[in-house]
Amino acid sequence: SPSLRDGEDLRTAADFDLRLTSPDRVIFPEDNLTKGDLANYYAAVADLLMVDLANRPMTLIRCPSGRSKNCFFQKHDSGSMGAHVLHVPVKEGDGTTEDYLYVDEPIGALECVQMNTIEFHGWGSRIDPLEKPDRLVFDLDPDEGLGFDRVKTAALRLRDMLADLGLETFPLLSGGKGIHVVAPLDQSRDWPTVKSFAERFSRAIAEAEPETFTANIRKNQRKGRIFLDWLRNQRGATAVLPYSARAREGAPVAAPVTWDELPDLKGANIFSIRDAASLLDRAADKGLKKWGQGRQALPDF
Ligand code: ATP
Ligand code: MN
Ligand code: MN
């Protein structure tokens, strides 16, 4: 296939049956990037985004006044998102049922962008079977000021320890400060089982290598270390999805990378919504084709 690097052949928002209002409104003021720029980014990477976003209960971060003020999380339906933004009833702990949002085709994601969504976050399961996660996520949260080299080393260490249990994992640059280490699962185990694995495994690592890791969410336990945020693996929790933009300076995106290239990467926010063409090129390269793919049984631990 021809290289997309010069921006030719990229899909744009105009290729979708979408009424995009205020495309010239600046939503990343430091970067002079507009709602139209964001919609064009999502249009270009839509097929890649949908690999993980499709049929997954999602939480949106919407920012009607631009990326830095009045942003809010939305996980329930307000009834007005768009014709292709769908609802799935989810039983809450208190016995009530709430409609959660999901999409199953790119136009649904674009409709969310029209409604000022910047970020797409998702559950660890799809809507069916909702109670059986299809992935584990270890969200590595470095202490304030800890260098990215330490985060990379920790991610590689975590990869090795999960590989020792037979789990293949894939690194995601969060677009913020950290790395998410993702293991696809075969949807054979329920939420309590997956959460329990994530917690016990994280606590064991923190005990074995306390100079690097903590499994304690309290910030004052983090000093110079990396919090292994296993809490992403409980029913209802979300993590940012691959190719989601972030409502942060620089308009970064959450980007899948390979373990081979990770040691050379300079930060978790090196890709931005300006990089749609190179993200598409990267995805077409062999190394990233199988990112996040596979159906693995949760190992015993
Ligand atoms: P960073 O690498 O900078 O930590 P991150 O996306 O991992 O970026 P975290 O604060 O570690 O940010 O959050 C991990 C995930 O937890 C988020 O991607 C999001 O899905 C979810 N999350 C965090 N804060 C909230 C919140 N206030 N409400 C709902 N979900 C949240
Ligand atoms: Mn994090
Ligand atoms: Mn976290």
Q: pLDDT for 11-21, tens place per residue?
A: 999 999 999 99
pLDDT surpassing 80 at residue 203: yes
CA 238 to CA 70: how far, in whole Å?
A: 21
Which listed ligand is nearest to 237 at the C-alpha?
1
> Is the C-beta atom of 60 inside 6 A of ligand 1?
no
- Percentage, residues of the chain above pLDDT 90: 94
**Reported confidence tier of residue 280, pLDDT bands at 50, 70, 90:** very high
Q: CA 192 → CA 94, 195, 228, 266, 301, distances in Å? A: 17, 5, 18, 36, 14
CA 228 to CA 137: how far, in whole Å?
A: 10
CA of 231 to the centre of ligand 3 (A): 8
Average pLDDT over residues 57-77: 96
CA-nearest of 253, 56, 239, 259 to 169 is: 259
Pocket test for ligand 1, best of 123, 151, 238 (most atoms within 8 A of CB): 238
Determine which of 105-109, 148-152, 218-222, 273-277 has the lowest per-residue pLDDT on average: 218-222
pLDDT at position 77 is 80
In tens, the pLDDT along 45-54 reads: 999 999 999 9
**Placement of tokens 């040691």 in the chain:** 263
Write the CB contacts of 25 (distance below 8 Å, at least 6 apart in sequence).
34, 35, 66
Report residue 97 as tokens.
């049922």
Residue 126's Cα: distance from chain center in Å?
14
ipTM (interface predicted TM): 0.94
pLDDT at position 4 is 52
| pTM: predicted TM-score of the whole model, two decimal places | 0.96
Q: Which atom of ligand 1 is nearest to 180's Cα?
A: 7
Q: Which atom of ligand 1 is nearest to 254's Cα?
A: 6
Average pLDDT over residues 87-105: 95
> Is the C-beta atom of 269 inside 6 A of ligand 1?
no
> What residues flank ion ligand 3 with Cβ within 5 A?
139, 141, 229
pLDDT surpassing 60 at residue 5: no
In tens, the pLDDT along 159-196 reads: 999 999 999 999 999 999 999 999 999 999 999 999 99
CA of 14 to the centre of ligand 1 (A): 31
**Reported confidence tier of residue 275, pLDDT bands at 50, 70, 90:** very high
CA of 285 to the centre of ligand 1 (A): 29
Which listed ligand is nearest to 230 at the C-alpha?
3
Pocket test for ligand 1, best of 123, 214, 240 (most atoms within 8 A of CB): 240
**Placement of tokens 């992935």 in the chain:** 135
CA of 25 to the centre of ligand 3 (A): 31
In tens, the pLDDT along 235-249 reads: 999 999 999 999 999
pLDDT surpassing 70 at residue 145: yes
> Is the C-beta atom of 177 inside 6 A of ligand 1?
yes
Q: Which residue has the higher pLDDT, 79 or 66?
A: 66
> Is the C-beta atom of 37 inside 6 A of ligand 1?
no
pLDDT at position 7 is 54
Q: Which atom of ligand 1 is nearest to 229's Cα?
A: 11
Average pLDDT for the chain: 95
pLDDT at position 79 is 77
Q: Biggest alpha carbon distance in the chain?
A: 54
Report residue 225 as tokens.
């270390």
* Full DSSP string of the chain: ----TTSTT---GGGSS-----TT-EEEGGGTEEHHHHHHHHHHTHHHHHHHHTT--EEEEE-TT-TTSS-EEE-B--S-S-TT-EEEEEE-TTS-EEEEEE-SSHHHHHHHHHTTEEEEEE-SS-STTTTS-SEEEEEEEE-TT--HHHHHHHHHHHHHHHHHTT---EEEE-SSS-EEEEEE--S-S-HHHHHHHHHHHHHHHHHH-TTTEE----GGG-TTSEEEEGGGGSTT--EEPTT-B-SSTT-BB-EE--TTTGGG---TT--BGGGHHHHHHHHHSHHHHTTT----PPPP-
